Amino acid sequence: MNETAEPIVKATARNRRVAGMDPEKRRQILDGAQAVFAAQGFDAASMSEIAAVAGVSKGTLYVYFADKEHLFVALIERERETQKAAVFDALNDDPDVVRALTRFGEGLAHLLTRDFVVSAHRIVIGVAERMPDLGRDFYESGPKLGGYRLAQFLAGKAEQGLLSLDDAYLAAVQFIDLCQSTLLRPRLFNAMREPPSDDEIHRVVASAVAMFMARYGAPRR
């Protein structure tokens, strides 16, 4: 390779590495996609229209997202990160296990039964068979990661002698599932068209906390 060609090759490789990494451009695309999905729904939305609303070329859109499904999942993850911080804040520095779990459980139940989140779960489940990597990524960055974050909180309380458990991750996932009982599945199958009321969420989560503490609460001395 001659000396003049080598810098060109290096510059091209460098440009390829940064393609799709501009956070402002990514936000612009996600904002456009959110507007299109909200107006037309997932099935009717097209990549061409998303590109037009986002103000980018279709080629640029495909540099950032391989297809509509991956774009939608990225939008879900952005929304989920925005809401998830408030849910997990309930676990921060609260010495009262029951109070912390109650606040966490109610926040989680509100989040999972929102219209956008329910629609997102339906869509990901619908494409997971033909796009298993997408389904796995959605699960690992959402439910699985959430389980591990709650497990860290529970393990800390166990070290303080406030809980008695052998498998913190199993206990965390059990509690998360209890908080969804009678709330999420009817929403997923559209048997319940509106999100549950605050009173109903409080009732379900209070029962979940009581069951969890009956199983994992440290024996009184």
Same domain, 109 and 170: yes
Domain CATH number, residue 221: 1.10.357.10
57, 84: one domain: no
Q: How many Å apart are CA 9 and CA 5, to the nearest integer? A: 6
- Identify whether residues 76 and 58 lie together within a single domain: no
Looking at the structure, do residues 98 and 206 belong to the same domain, yes or no?
yes
pTM reported for the whole predicted model? 0.79
Are 99 and 205 in a shared domain? yes
Residues 184 and 203 in one domain: yes
Domain harbouring 12, CATH code: 1.10.10.60
Of 171 and 7, which is predicted with more confidence? 171
| Averaged pLDDT, 54-68 | 93
- Regarding whether 212 and 132 lie in a shared domain, the answer is yes
| Per-residue confidence band for 99, with pLDDT thresholds at 50, 70 and 90 | very high
Q: Are residues 84 and 177 in the same domain?
A: yes
> Do 126 and 36 have their domain in common?
no
Q: How confident is the model at residue 97 (pLDDT cuts 50, 70, 90)?
A: very high
Residues 174-189 have pLDDT tens digits of 999 999 999 999 999 9
Band of the pLDDT at 220, cuts 50, 70, 90?
Answer: low
Distances from the Cα of 125 to the Cα of 55, 76, 176, 219, angstroms? 30, 13, 19, 41
Instruction: Provide the pLDDT for residue 18.
Output: 52
Same domain, 131 and 53: no
- Are 124 and 76 in contact by the 8 Å Cβ rule? The answer is yes
What is the number of domains present in the chain? 2
Which domain does 146 fall in, by range?
69-221
Higher-confidence residue: 108 or 123? 108
Question: Is 53 in the same domain as 106?
Answer: no
| SS3 at position 163 | strand
- Both 103 and 128 in one domain: the answer is yes
Distance CA 36, CA 38 (A): 5
For residue 50, the one-letter residue type is: I
